[in-house]
Amino acid sequence: MIWISRLLGCLVVALACGAAIAAGPQDARVSIAFVGDVMLADGPGKTISHGQDPLRYIAPLLNQADLRVANLECVVATVGEAQSGKPWTFRAHPRVLDMLRKHIDVVDLANNHSGDFGPDAFAQMLGLLKQKNIAYFGGGYDLAEAHRPLIVERNGLRIALLGYNEFFPRSFEANENKPGIAWSEDEQVVYDVRVARQQYHADLVVAMMHWGWEHEPSASDRQRQLARILIDAGADAVVGSHPHVVQNIERYRGKPIIYSLGNFVFDGFNTVPTTTGWLLQMDFDRSGASGWRIFEVRLDRQGTPRPIADRPIPPGESSAPN
């Protein structure tokens, strides 16, 4: 009987070791670079058509990260008609994707410009992104794909990325048989975060939000409420964009909330706040975000960002430029 007990003990140890191996190293770490609104039509599109790279000055900073994520603030397509009633519509030529994939691994599609030229243009963009091996989240060919987490594995960690839009028009939202973006219904985002943990076995969950009011330097009550909902559901970090200016930073339950990274590649702006953006470099381990640095950039008239800060802005410093 003793040998049976010993054998069972060995089996338990072996199974435990196997589970640890399957889960990956406990000291695994990953660095993710996040940037805000990247709009590749108009001025930036012309820059690319002339053979120049609007991300050339920022590339060394982006290349420090294991994973590079951006909000793609336009549709990339050759089909579709501009949606009526919108004062600004952005459609970039597919040529921009060769430049984009050199610097960005993943794009968030959940924003108020992805549907500017209708669902056919949006669907074409999804196909083009797949052809260029640029992963995406926050949108899809139907509602299920739009809300499905993108799982990216880096350095032994499974990272789930979720993206949501909360700024009109809601007509860009995907449905059961229409391509489009993910909208941020509170119950749905809670469900999505939990699914990322339970069904997709994510070690880390990051939510990217397109929210808030334009040109406001501080987060609204609604932004703060939704950020807390996401973290209470299990998100490790919340990163936002849309207001065209950077916003404040908070911690909630020890988790970072960066409310807005501001513009990153975008022309048509001429004030210091609207031409100032942040590149967020956030480090993670299995317990969540272990630290971050923010690098400030300034956009020129063509919407090209250049690093301007001599030092990274330290964590917790949340003052926006005047």
- Cβ(107)–Cβ(92) below 8 Å: no
H/E/C letters for each residue in 126-170? HHHHHHCCCEEECEECCHHHHHCCEEEEECCEEEEEEEEECCCCH
Percentage of the chain lying above the pLDDT 90 cut: 87
Res 317 pLDDT > 90? no
Burial class (CB in 10 A: 0-12, 13-18, 19+), 199: exposed
Residue among 261, 238, 262 nearest 251 (CA): 238
Res 19 pLDDT > 60? no
Res 23 pLDDT > 70? no
Mean pLDDT along residues 126-131: 98
For the stretch 29-54, pLDDT in tens is: 999 999 999 999 999 999 999 999 99
- Cβ(106)–Cβ(134) below 8 Å: yes
Residue among 137, 209, 136, 144 nearest 175 (CA): 144
Cα 294 to its chain centre, rounded Å, is 15
For the stretch 195-236, pLDDT in tens is: 999 999 999 999 999 999 999 999 999 999 999 999 999 999
Lowest mean pLDDT among 167-171, 184-188, 281-285: 167-171
CA distance 277 to 236: 23
Q: 236-250 as b/e, with b when 16 or more CB fall inside 10 Å?
A: bbbbbbbbbbbbbbb
Calculate the average pLDDT of the chain. Answer: 91
Q: What is the CATH number of domain 27-307?
A: 3.60.21.10
